[in-house]
Structure 1
Amino acid sequence: MSELHFTSPDGLTIDLRLPEHPTDAVPEYRSTISPRKTTNQHNERAYPLPLPPLPTHTARRFGNPTPVGLGGFLLANTPATIMLPGWHGAGGRNGNESAAIGTFFYLGCLLEILCGIGEWINGETFNAAVFLILGGYFGASGAVMVPFYNAISGYGTDATAAEATYHDSYAMLLIFMGVLLLFFTIASVRLDICHVVLFACFTVCFPCLATSYFYMADGNEATAHTFRIWGGIFSLAGSVILWYLFLGSLLEAVDFPYLLPVGDLSNYVKGRTEYLGRRRHKTSMSCGL
């Protein structure tokens, strides 16, 4: 057992005891302070300028943009989800989402992009990617429903053939949106259970909607309606979880005394930085450094 002894001019002594063999245990130490009489000249020499106040975690230059993005997504997605199965005649009972054009542009697209920029400024890369990409998706979904963009008529003058080709083509976007949400699901394993289930619901939702468009292109409206209902069910399940997260973000924003549990997974799925840090620490200890 090796011992190290440190003494500062101000009377602070530290005794450090190091084991003979490398170990992961924290070394034993003992510190004492010997009071000394100090003069005003000593204080002025040691602290010539007033110390700045310590920064606190509550002092932030910018607010948390997450509630804005969540609220915009919910107000754009939840009504459109109800239009898919045609509850109470919404969506014309055939999944028509024309009434959601305004919410897609000004709630889904605009607020998602503003929130994504805010998350990017705060250094939240994953959140920024999610909000910005979903904001672009809402903008693209609203654009194809605007007559100005001529989405269906661009496939020919035959209305039936043009509509079928449009459905087949638009389904491709939904398929790759499902792939994107699958990647979000995998990445969210480092976050919490709520985000994993949320992204998993939408991962299933988009392939169901894509299949619905494929059957619409083939003229099989009954089967298309079935898959549209399943897509709406998974989208609604994801929206319920998202409403829960939205409430939790609001409670956190106002410093509510109780927060909603989300099932934190960060303690179970360790990050690469922490994993490499532990490996580096163990390697250096085994080498006697």
Structure 2
Amino acid sequence: MSAIYSSDKQSPNTADQQADSALRGRLNSRNDSSSTPVVDGEYDIEAAHHKAESFTSDRDDFINRIRTAGSVSMSPELFEKLYLNPQKNVKGELRQTFANPTPLALLGHILSITPLGCDLLGWKGAGQFGAAQTGGFVFVGGVLLLLSGILEFFLGNTFSFVVFCSFGAFWLAFAGVLIPGFNSIGAYSATGDSQVLGISTKGFQASLAFYLLFWAIAVVILLICSLRTNVAFVALFFCLEGTLLALASGFFLLSEGKLELGNNAVKAGGGLALATGLVGFYIFLVLMLASVDFPFLLPVGDLSHIMKGYQAKHGSRK
């Protein structure tokens, strides 16, 4: 965010002192016949009160001008583009002080789901649910998303916080299924410890399908909420929803013994996972170009001005 906000900002105390000094000079220069309002030889209380209010209003306006002179005001469109979160007023200036964690979270997600999509498609002999990148699911997908989500929490971005932390936990849980020490797959085998036998059992396939199905329900809610951000983010959630539904359907079909239909559904889920990753790469490019103040910016299809928030329509809550 250092490219968006100027670091040369004035402190509140400095602004107050400058405002007082400037306004005193302004008042002293006024051609008043008397510093005390008098009407017909009597002290005019109403005029004095009006003069005091005018001084306070001028002073506050001057302070605001000084405090904002060193920074660039961020529009709602730019905010949701950078944070993938509708803009809301929060206390403090953490957003101007610390970096934007959103690109890091997005990178962790796309570097996990894109290779997984290729594995599910079986390209170049890939397979086994991406077991070769189990470490990536933990340290790239899990750690980066959780870290970014926690930082979004402190910045006051609730939607981004929920999305990133949720999917950080998702990738950690998915890695746990693949790690032999958890015995998530082997527990379904006749011997109770064989991943080779457990992965083809009805119990494992149906259980995994239910897990993916309820994740799909959660993503529907996130998809609806993303309509307040931009078209690119909506497209990412749309592809992700399709991925989860296709995989859940595929594993349900496999558990019922419909191997051909089930395998085709799983491959369809892999294709949608790949599409999710590609959309994510585009958003990541957009965010990184904005972070370095690149000479041109790419569009994301802002929706914040189309779907107005409740408070924007009905006014801020008192």
Structure 1 distance, partners of 2:316, 2:106, is 36
One-letter amino acid of the structure 2 residue matched with residue 61 of structure 1:
T
What residue in structure 2 maps to residue 90 of structure 1? 126
1:177-192 equivalence runs, <5 A: 177-192=215-230
Structure 2 distance, partners of 1:155, 1:139, is 21
1:40-55 equivalence runs, <5 A: none
Structure 2 distance, partners of 1:169, 1:129, is 25
What residue in structure 2 maps to residue 80 of structure 1? 116
1:135-284 equivalence runs, <5 A: 135-155=168-188, 157=190, 159=197, 163-277=201-315
Deviations along 1:135-180, one digit per CA (max 9) or x if unpaired, are 0000000001111111123335254698320111111110011111
With over 3 angstroms needed to count, the CA separation of the structure-2 counterparts of 1:11 and 1:67, relative to structure 1, is: same
One-letter amino acid of the structure 1 residue matched with residue 249 of structure 2:
T
One-letter amino acid of the structure 2 residue matched with residue 66 of structure 1:
T
Deviations along 1:177-236, one digit per CA (max 9) or x if unpaired, are 111111111111111111111111111110110111122223332212110121112222
Structure 1 distance, partners of 2:198, 2:161, is 40
One-letter amino acid of the structure 2 residue matched with residue 176 of structure 1:
F
Equivalent of residue 135 in structure 2, options 86, 102, 110: 102
Structure 1 distance, partners of 2:231, 2:198, is 45
Considering fraction of residues, name the structure with more strand: 1
Bigger relative contact order, structure 1 or 2 (CA pairs below 8 A, ≥6 apart): 2
Structure 1 distance, partners of 2:266, 2:118, is 11
Structure 1 distance, partners of 2:72, 2:204, is 51
Structure 2 distance, partners of 1:142, 1:279, is 43
Question: 8 Å contact 2:189–2:201 — kept in the other structure?
Answer: no
Q: Report the count of equivalent residues.
A: 233
Structure 1 distance, partners of 2:239, 2:317, is 36
Question: 8 Å contact 1:152–1:163 — kept in the other structure?
Answer: no
Question: 8 Å contact 2:188–2:198 — kept in the other structure?
Answer: no
Q: CA deviation at 1:279?
A: 11
Structure 2 distance, partners of 1:245, 1:260, is 9
Structure 2 distance, partners of 1:119, 1:101, is 26
Q: Work out whether 1:122 is the aligned partner of 2:137.
A: no
Question: 8 Å contact 1:153–1:162 — kept in the other structure?
Answer: no
Q: CA deviation at 1:11?
A: 4.1
1:9-28 equivalence runs, <5 A: 9=27, 11=30
One-letter amino acid of the structure 1 residue matched with residue 264 of structure 2:
T
One-letter amino acid of the structure 2 residue matched with residue 247 of structure 1:
L
Equivalent of residue 166 in structure 2, options 113, 133, 147: 133
Q: CA deviation at 1:63?
A: 0.4
Structure 2 distance, partners of 1:272, 1:187, is 13
With over 3 angstroms needed to count, the CA separation of the structure-2 counterparts of 1:182 and 1:161, relative to structure 1, is: closer
Considering fraction of residues, name the structure with more helix: 2
Structure 2 distance, partners of 1:111, 1:211, is 29
SS of the residue 1:165 aligns to: helix
Structure 2 distance, partners of 1:55, 1:123, is 23
Q: CA deviation at 1:241?
A: 1.1
Gaps of 5+ in 1: 1-7, 13-46, 281-289
Equivalent of residue 71 in structure 2, options 56, 59, 80: 56
Gaps of 5+ in 2: 1-25, 32-61, 74-94, 192-196
Deviations along 1:70-109, one digit per CA (max 9) or x if unpaired, are 1111111111110001011111xxx532112111001000
Superposition CA RMSD, Å: 2.6
Q: CA deviation at 1:275?
A: 0.7
Identity rate of aligned residues, in percent?
33
SS of the residue 2:100 aligns to: coil
